[in-house]
Amino acid sequence: MYRDTMLCSLKHALYIGILIMLYLLQTNPFLFHIAGMRPLWIIPVVVAIAMLEGEYIGAFYGTAAGVLCDLSATKLFGLNSVLMLLCCAAVGLAVIYLMRFTTLNSVLLTGAVMLVKDLFCFYFYYAMWGYSGIWRVFVFDMIPELILTLMVTPPLFLMLTHIKTKFDERMSS
Amino acid sequence: MQDFFKSSRFKILSALLVVLFAFMLRATLTGGASVLVSEIFGMATQPFVSISSSLSKGTASFLGSFVNTNEISRENEELREQVRELNEKLAAFEQYKHENEYLREYLEVKEQNPDFKFETAEVIQRDPNNRFCSFMIDKGSLSGIEYLDPVITADGLVGRVVEVGYTYSKVATILDVEMDVGCYDVRTRDTGVLEGDAALAADGMCKMSPLPRETVAAKGDLILTTGIGGLFPKDIMIGKIQHVSVESHGKSTYAVVKPAAQIATLTDVMVITDFLGQGGINNAENYE
């Protein structure tokens, strides 16, 4: 029992470590980017965690990822947190009741979460204020960001699935 | 699915959602003041972010000298050309300076040096894929930085502080569509408002408008801050006009301005924490 608790804690410490490392990669002004664009590394991670761990734990990780997104943005604090909480809870429920646990579905769900997040952020941050030509932000910033994020989703999903499987094996043994 | 909505887990998540909403509402009300959750996460991640930023800055600088040889060479050529032009201007400047000093003495105008107080800061985070190039710096309210303090570099105006934590601050740049800066053309004395534009921001430029339809503002004119409103000090360099165009409605013109500061690649900035006339609007309101 004690060993299982320790392993479970270690697993979550590893998840949090990965989340922080990828957040640094995502926001560091000098690191990885493709033609000036970067994927949102932490979104596929929390979507994968929601798929692996269910809606409850997934919602907490989603909230954490949302807070980190809010932290790096200069816009209204809290919108990303609320959206990611709801999205990750929905992802967890979708995998339990509707969808199979596959890599393709992780890409689809990450795409859906990104799209919901981007549409809400675009509307509340820009569109509702009526700035001229602001559609460019969605088309030339948010869509490429979404595509890049989808590209990095499969390796992240497989990595997290591998971590979860290894820990489950140890716990069951 | 029904079980989930009746479970205690659902109630806990609902409570969490309400708390997040409350923080969001508080953030809208408090403006630049950082909310508790932001403060906690900001302080928890700031050491990692600073270390990561310093390490990668050193590495990028080292590797960049090999990767960007052509760019550096081209930039060197451009800088040589600029030095030649500046030397010519310097000669003219000395003449004007002498004349100016004479006139000042004549008019007995006491020269006022703006009493700026600076706080230097390092860029530690950038909002990923934000075309307006907003960023976070490693100094906050503990260093005396306040909401709406102007941010500059030696080259010119960068933006202003839009959120302040204890150990960090967020900066919105002059490329941002939310930014308005009172400015004027040094040569023609045309005044206008510098604002971000979604289309121009992609090329690192912003828009000065409205200019009179018959304006003689032209490419190369210097744009400085007017200082009106007390948000920015007077006569801070903003940039140079790239071109002047007529607005779609045809009643006025606007100028596309290239900021003097290299906003997209900044690594260090200066925050002006105090200057003569700061908060002019608020002070005037208080006075009234």
Give the integer Cα–Cα distance in Å for B240 and B235. 14
Fold of the domain spanning A2-172: Arp2/3 complex 21 kDa subunit ARPC3 (1.10.1760)
The beta-carbon neighbor of B198 closest among A56, A70, A137 is: A137
For residue B114, cis peptide bond before it (omega within 30 degrees of 0): no
CB atoms within 10 A of CB B102: 10
Gyration radius (Cα) of chain A, Å: 17
Q: Which residues are paired to B280 by β-bridges?
A: none
CB contact under 8 A, B130 and A126: no
**Substitution target from B34, B129, B163 for chain A, most A beta carbons within 10 A:** B129
Give the integer Cα–Cα distance in Å for B4 and B190. 64
Say which DSSP state A35 is in. T
The beta-carbon neighbor of B13 closest among A26, A89, A141 is: A89
| Mean pLDDT in consecutive groups of 10 residues from the start of chain B, 288 residues | 79 86 77 67 73 68 64 82 81 70 51 66 82 88 90 89 88 90 90 89 89 86 87 88 86 90 86 79 45
Spans of all domains in chain B: 2-48, 68-107, 116-288
Question: By percentage, how much of chain B surpasses pLDDT 70?
Answer: 81
B240 by DSSP, 3-state: which?
A: strand
Spans of all domains in chain A: 2-172
B139 by DSSP, 3-state: which?
A: coil
Res B103: pLDDT? 60
Res A115: pLDDT? 94
Residue B73 identity:
S
For residue B10, give both structure tokens. Answer: 């659902």
How does DSSP assign B184-224, residue by residue? Answer: EETTT--EEEEE--HHHHTTT-EEEEEE-TT----TT-EEE
C-beta of residue B20 within 8 angstroms of C-beta of residue A82: yes
Res B27: pLDDT? 75
Res B74: pLDDT? 82
Res B284: pLDDT? 43
Backbone angles phi, psi at B145, to 5 degrees: -80, 140
pLDDT digits (tens, 9 = 90+) for A40-51: 899 999 999 999
Rounded average pLDDT over A59-87? 88
**Residue A142 or residue B128, greater confidence:** A142
CB contact under 8 A, B129 and A137: no
Give the integer Cα–Cα distance in Å for B145 and A121. 28
Give the integer Cα–Cα distance in Å for B89 and B101. 18
Fold of the domain spanning B116-288: Thrombin, subunit H (2.40.10)
Tracing tokens 């088309």 back to the chain, one arrives at A139
Res A62: pLDDT? 93
Contact with chain B for residue A13, Cβ under 8 A: no
Helical ranges in B108-209 per DSSP H: 198-201
